[in-house]
Amino acid sequence: MTYVDDGLDEFFGRTRSARPNGDRKASVKGPDRAVSPSPKSARKTTRSTDRQERAPRTVTSRPARLDRAGREVTRPASPVTPPRRSDGAAVRNASAQRSARPAASRSRRRMAPVAVPDGATSRRQTVRRLIWLVVVTVAAAAAVAARLTYTNLAEGTEWRTKGIDQRDGLQEVPAGRGAIFDRRGQPFALSVARPDVVADPSIIEDPLATARTLAPVLDIPVEEIAAKLKGDGRYALVAETVSDATAEKITAIRKAEDKAAKTRGERARTLAGIAFDYRFVRYYPAGGLASAVVGRTVADGGVDDTGHEGLSGIERQFERDLTGEPGRVIYERDASGRPIAGGERQVEPGKPGTDVYLTLDQSLQYESERAITRQVEATGAAAGMVTIMRPSTGEILAMASVASDEDGKAHNTRDNRPVTAVFEPGSVNKVITIAGAIEEGLVEPDTVLDVPDHLQIYDKTFRDHDPHPVRAWSVTDILVTSSNIGTIKLARQLGRENVDRYLRDFGLGQNTQLGFPYEEDGIMLPLEDWSGTSIGAIPIGQGIAVTALQMLSAYNVIANDGVYVPPRLVAATDDGTGRVDTPAAAQRRVVSADTARAVQEMLEKVVTEGTGKRARVPDYPAAGKTGTARIPQGVDASDGYRGADGRYHYQATFLGFISGADLSILVTLEDPQTSTYGGEVAAPVFSQLAAVALLRTQTPPPALLERSESAVPELSSTARSSRDEDAGTVTSTTTG
């Protein structure tokens, strides 16, 4: 009999039809009955039906047996003894029997029906999945390509550099520092290669034996050397910058050991691992000569001769030019960073530093330092300075600065004080006021003024050095006798504005543009800050502060026929391609040539007949001015010039030039003890140095030309009788 399993229809949610062609394996037709399939056949039938979209399954069964009364006869179940099979077959048979239970029973245990997509829906889902797969794949490929492009373009150089850095080693080869010479090519500073004695402790077999060999040569204790040779590293500095002679001794010992070892058929061991590492050091052939001008270098935080960075002076000012550009050695290295033997090497030579030629003359520098040192020690002064120049070019031929120690011995200062220290000029400043008055046409050298010995301006009384009655003195007399009152009267005629203008035109209170490190500008009050007494103090050199270089440059205006020429310290440079002269700075006219020549003659009379007689130079017309100024102490509020010891301290100066010889000199001493007058302690040094400079420059005496009409009158009798002392800067304050 055939029937449709309604339980399966309920599970799949649709009606199934009988298999169209029947199932030969599912039923075996006989004349009266259908044969039920075996469990294995039933399982295959079920799988086949599921694959054929769950078509209705036809199930056949054996008809029931009835008794005579028409009732169904139930036969007791008898055990079925399966045939002998292998264990695997038995398991499959048991599984088939378990799965061959009636369909109705199976349907009751099925889960709820699940919607199964039809063919079209499945194809659409597959297409969507493929599209998403393609999109994701393309996006991932694009991201990778973008990253590769960015890395190659934006970071390519960086990564290539990293790769090269890992492969290539770099060793910097320092370039020699440029040299510093004087005007004649004599060296002040040089860079020389000096050897360091170094060691590789890893290959030294007997540190103690090596130390014993090196100790007498290096003059270093054996224990100290042995301690360095026992280190764990591969580099040890045994001795720094030894002399060439010491290096030659070590080399000779090593050669002797090598020769002896070869004779014995052995390997030299005592100095194995000892080598030389050369480096440039700074060497000063002239010693401490002009040390404040040339400067020094610094290394490892301290001042020494092995540094390569300018600390002061020209070494600092021209640091960038002197240093140069170091060279490089690029070599292949292994994973440990060691050079590969036979590997590629690329050498890039460095560029040595630029050489600098100064305007200084070593011989004049030496004479200047010696002369000022002797005078400072002889007078008990605290310090002293000398500056020598060529007025026509502004070239500085010498700059010396010394200071006394506690024992009274003078030594060169570290700072170049003619440029970095300021002082009140005192009477040497009077020349500017007198030149301005002549230039403005207010007076002539022979103009006569009534000059008392004192003058009160507001609450301050100004005095000449010596008391005297009112004198009828010419302008020349006023300058020769260094009269404070006469100079103040000329300044009042000239006016505050003109006094201030001429002081600045002569170069006071402003930087000389020399470019020297730490150069001082000086101190000059703005005109609007002048007090009522400034017109009396400033013209005679009080209330302002100048450097020695500023003051000498101002006198060069007079020596140079009224033209200001800025000072020069560097004559030329040479970067290896040839010497190039330093261009001269712009000049400017300050006063006319007639005014300058008139003042020149007046200054000559200061030397021949006035306070500067000790500055005379045989056969040469010396001209100059003495000056004595109090040094501000800042201790006593009522009197800023009085020191803690209750006394005044003075700056004694002589400043002048040799007419027609293109030579000017300034000498100043700080707080001399033997005399406070510039004419007595500074003028003699001027005379001595002028004679040496004239001989050094081979300047012949100028022809003594007769002046048909001299613009400078003879001194009056009262001026001649005046004491041969500098009237200086003495002032006093009145009360009430």
Contact 199, 224 (CB under 8 A): no
Output the CA angle 296-298-303, nearest 5 degrees.
Answer: 75
Contacts of 490 (CB under 8 A, 6+ apart): 433, 434, 437, 442, 443, 449, 475, 478, 539
Is the pLDDT at 720 greater than 80? The verdict is no
Tell me the residue length of the chain.
Answer: 736
Contacts of 440 (CB under 8 A, 6+ apart): 494, 498
- pLDDT at residue 84, as a whole number: 53
Taking the C-alpha atoms of residue 130 and residue 124, their distance in angstroms, rounded to an integer, is 10
- pLDDT at residue 170, as a whole number: 72
**Considering only 69-78, 116-125, 216-225, 577-586, which range has the smallest mean pLDDT?**
69-78
* Helix 496-505 vs helix 484-494: crossing angle, to nearest 10: 100
DSSP reduced 3-state for 1: coil
- pLDDT at residue 657, as a whole number: 97
Is the pLDDT at 580 greater than 50? The verdict is yes
Contact 326, 317 (CB under 8 A): no
Q: Which residue would you say has higher pLDDT here, 351 or 454?
A: 454
Residue with tokens 């102490």: 633
Output the CA angle 118-123-129, nearest 5 degrees.
Answer: 125
Contacts of 693 (CB under 8 A, 6+ apart): 364, 367, 388, 397, 663, 665
Q: Which residue would you say has higher pLDDT here, 241 or 708?
A: 241
Contacts of 13 (CB under 8 A, 6+ apart): 113
Structure tokens at 21: 């062609």
Taking the C-alpha atoms of residue 368 and residue 627, their distance in angstroms, rounded to an integer, is 20
Contact 42, 105 (CB under 8 A): no
Taking the C-alpha atoms of residue 5 and residue 15, their distance in angstroms, rounded to an integer, is 10
Contact 668, 382 (CB under 8 A): no
CA torsion sign, 243 to 248 to 253 to 254? positive
- pLDDT at residue 664, as a whole number: 98
Which residues are paired to 385 by β-bridges? Answer: 401, 668
Average pLDDT over residues 295-322: 79
Give the H or E element holding residue 629: strand 622-630
User: How many other β-carbons are positioned within 10 Å of the β-carbon of residue 65?
Assistant: 10
Structure tokens at 295: 């400067």
Average pLDDT over residues 549-565: 98
Active site residues: 427
Which of 306, 201, 211, 305 lies closest to 250 in space, CA to CA? Answer: 211
- Taking 3-state DSSP, the helix, strand and coil percentages for the chain, each rounded to the nearest 5, stand at 35, 20, 40
Q: Judging by beta carbons within 10 Å of its beta carbon (0-12, 13-18, 19+), is residue 262 exposed, middle or buried?
A: exposed
**Considering only 43-52, 213-222, 555-564, 698-707, which range has the smallest mean pLDDT?**
43-52
Is the pLDDT at 3 greater than 50? The verdict is no
Is the pLDDT at 26 greater than 50? The verdict is no
- pLDDT at residue 352, as a whole number: 87
Per DSSP (E only), the strands in 143-182 are 168-173, 180-181
Q: Which residue would you say has higher pLDDT here, 531 or 122?
A: 531
Average pLDDT over residues 335-356: 76
Is the pLDDT at 78 greater than 60? The verdict is no
Average pLDDT over residues 16-43: 45
Output the CA angle 461-672-402, nearest 5 degrees.
Answer: 125
Which residues are paired to 669 by β-bridges? Answer: 384, 652
- pLDDT at residue 16, as a whole number: 42
Query: What is the largest distance, in Å, between two alpha-carbon atoms of the chain?
Result: 191
- pLDDT at residue 1, as a whole number: 44
- pLDDT at residue 736, as a whole number: 35
Q: What is the mean pLDDT of the chain?
A: 82
Residue with tokens 């020191």: 643
User: How many other β-carbons are positioned within 10 Å of the β-carbon of residue 59?
Assistant: 22
Contact 665, 689 (CB under 8 A): yes
Instruction: Show the DSSP H helices in 560-660 as ranges.
Output: 593-609
pLDDT band at 332; cut points 50, 70, 90: confident
- pLDDT at residue 75, as a whole number: 56
Is the pLDDT at 45 greater than 70? The verdict is no
- pLDDT at residue 19, as a whole number: 45
Residue 378, CA distances (Å) to 16, 371, 404, 682 in order: 140, 11, 11, 12
- pLDDT at residue 128, as a whole number: 84
Taking the C-alpha atoms of residue 520 and residue 88, their distance in angstroms, rounded to an integer, is 113
pLDDT tens string 254-295: 888 878 877 776 665 678 888 888 888 888 999 999 999 999
- pLDDT at residue 206, as a whole number: 86
pLDDT band at 42; cut points 50, 70, 90: very low
pLDDT tens string 149-199: 877 777 667 766 766 666 677 777 777 889 999 999 999 999 888 889 998
Contact 538, 499 (CB under 8 A): yes
pLDDT band at 102; cut points 50, 70, 90: low
End-to-end C-alpha distance for the chain, whole angstroms: 156
Residue with tokens 């069964």: 61
Is the pLDDT at 312 greater than 90? The verdict is yes
Is the pLDDT at 369 greater than 60? The verdict is yes
Phi, psi for residue 135 in degrees, rounded to 5? -60, -50
- pLDDT at residue 724, as a whole number: 46
User: How many other β-carbons are positioned within 10 Å of the β-carbon of residue 115?
Assistant: 7
Is the pLDDT at 122 greater than 70? The verdict is yes
Residue 531, CA distances (Å) to 266, 459, 492, 542 in order: 93, 11, 14, 13
pLDDT tens string 385-438: 999 999 999 999 999 999 999 999 999 999 999 999 999 999 999 999 999 999
- pLDDT at residue 584, as a whole number: 86
Strands 345-348 and 302-303: unpaired
- pLDDT at residue 127, as a whole number: 84
- pLDDT at residue 221, as a whole number: 93
Contact 543, 525 (CB under 8 A): yes
Q: Which residue would you say has higher pLDDT here, 24 or 71?
A: 71
- pLDDT at residue 64, as a whole number: 54
- pLDDT at residue 643, as a whole number: 83
Residue 343, CA distances (Å) to 12, 334, 335, 350, 642 in order: 81, 10, 14, 22, 77
Phi, psi for residue 127 in degrees, rounded to 5? -60, -45
Taking the C-alpha atoms of residue 200 and residue 272, their distance in angstroms, rounded to an integer, is 9
- pLDDT at residue 708, as a whole number: 45
* Helix 207-218 vs helix 222-229: crossing angle, to nearest 10: 130
SS (H, E, C) 388-423: EECCCCCEEEEEEEEEECCCCCEEECCCCHHHHCCE
**477-492 burial code (b ≥16 CB/10 A, e <16):** bbbbbbbbbbbbbbbe
Taking the C-alpha atoms of residue 214 and residue 207, their distance in angstroms, rounded to an integer, is 11
Is the pLDDT at 335 greater than 90? The verdict is no
Q: Which residue would you say has higher pLDDT here, 557 or 281?
A: 557
Give the H or E element holding residue 142: helix 119-153
Q: Which residue would you say has higher pLDDT here, 152 or 502?
A: 502
